[in-house]
Structure 1
Amino acid sequence: MRAPSALTRLLFAGTALVLAALPAAASDWTVEPGASSLSFTAQQGESPVKGTFATWSAQIRLDPADLANASIRAEIETGSATTGQMQIDQTLPSEAWFNVAAFPKAVFVSDSITATGGDSYAAEGRLTIKDREQPLTLPFTLTIDGDTAHATAEVSLMRMLFGIGADIPAATVADAVTVRLDITATR
């Protein structure tokens, strides 16, 4: 067997360089934390209590033309929840609420993502908070402009299903909590 010629070696090296220079898969997105937010609103008596999670991350693989291979995994550090109200902020990490010492993260993992018309989608998956897993449908809108994507979502969660604030009746703090996502990501 002959050794490859100089031209063959040069073509092989050139092809390898071109392949190495190609961008990562077009459907992998990196969340821009400074341009994204994860917030919640709960009703306490007659007053809404608004808060945010300061620390969270998401691994997103989503190409609208290839939803069969799409996936979302989000991890939220429950101890990063803040409302700007000292008493509530001191209560949220407690055992009766998020129990941050035992369960520092909430996790959402999609099982499937489907188009629901126009720029609307639904991620079917599972949300785990305090080691309690519940099915969750996350409806969201998505717009893609070149290498930037913007997604928004709003979903209502029942806090009692996850054992959050089980010591406080729904008459004092409503069971339903509205969670909002506003994500900007790049590829």
Structure 2
Amino acid sequence: MRKTTLTLALLASAGLAHATPADPAKSSVKFVFTQMNVPVEGQFKKFAADVAFDNAKLDASKVSIAVDLAAADAGSSDANQAMQMKEWFNTSAFPKATFTATQFKSLGAGKFQAIGQFALKGKTANLTVPFTVKPDAAKGQWFEGSFPLSRLAWKVGEGEWSDVGAVADAVQVKFKLYVPK
């Protein structure tokens, strides 16, 4: 039994870099949507991101991000409460959105793609996320990117809120993660 546990631990860690948590004080996960033709920017005030990234060893890189959906802030208490309802994020049943990637592709000049699994409101699907990597003078790294999501494809804003005249279907997700070394 002990030998099996050791073997499994070695296999699990073989070739995979150690993940480092992003600094939440320097990092952000934001979203932009359009309501009545007016752009609204919000943010998720609580999230955790673990990153192991080496642009020379992309096959050993990985990222895992979990966003606390109940910590969504769209700028007003009414909007924040509405986002927790069943029609929107349904945070009582689905408290987190997650993205996990172990495949990466270099696009050159510090640009990359992460290919992984995105889960939101009980649905999981493949998602490709473009991002840039920039070194920091304090020996950390900045990871920045954005990607579009269709809120209706993820059943966010169902029922009376599915009318895209009031709230547009397209949501832009933007992230900036600082990962110290």
Normalised-by-shorter TM-score class: 0.7 to 0.9
Unaligned runs of 5+ residues in structure 1 are 1-24
Aligned residue number for residue 100 of structure 2: 109
Q: Which whole-Å CA distance do the structure 1 matches of 2:65 and 2:169 have between them?
A: 23
Task: Indicate whether 1:48 and 2:39 are aligned.
Answer: yes
Task: Indicate whether 1:181 and 2:180 are aligned.
Answer: no
Letter of the aligned partner of 2:157 in structure 1? G
Unaligned runs of 5+ residues in structure 2 are 1-15
Deviations 1:76-104 (A, max 9, x none): 01000011222211100000100000000
Letter of the aligned partner of 1:154 in structure 2? S
Aligned residue number for residue 3 of structure 2: none
Within the candidate set 151, 154, 165, 2:157 is matched to 165
Task: Indicate whether 1:147 and 2:139 are aligned.
Answer: yes
Within the candidate set 119, 129, 138, 1:138 is matched to 129
The alignment covers a number of residue pairs equal to: 163
Greater Rg by CA: 1
Q: Which whole-Å CA distance do the structure 1 matches of 2:153 and 2:67 have between them?
A: 18
Aligned residue number for residue 156 of structure 1: 148
Within the candidate set 60, 64, 78, 2:55 is matched to 64
Task: Indicate whether 1:127 and 2:118 are aligned.
Answer: yes
CA contact (8 A) 2:19 2:63 kept: no
Query: What is the identity percentage for the equivalent residue pairs of Structure 1 and Structure 2?
Result: 28
SS at 1:153's partner residue? strand
Runs of 4+ in structure 1 off by over 6 angstroms are none
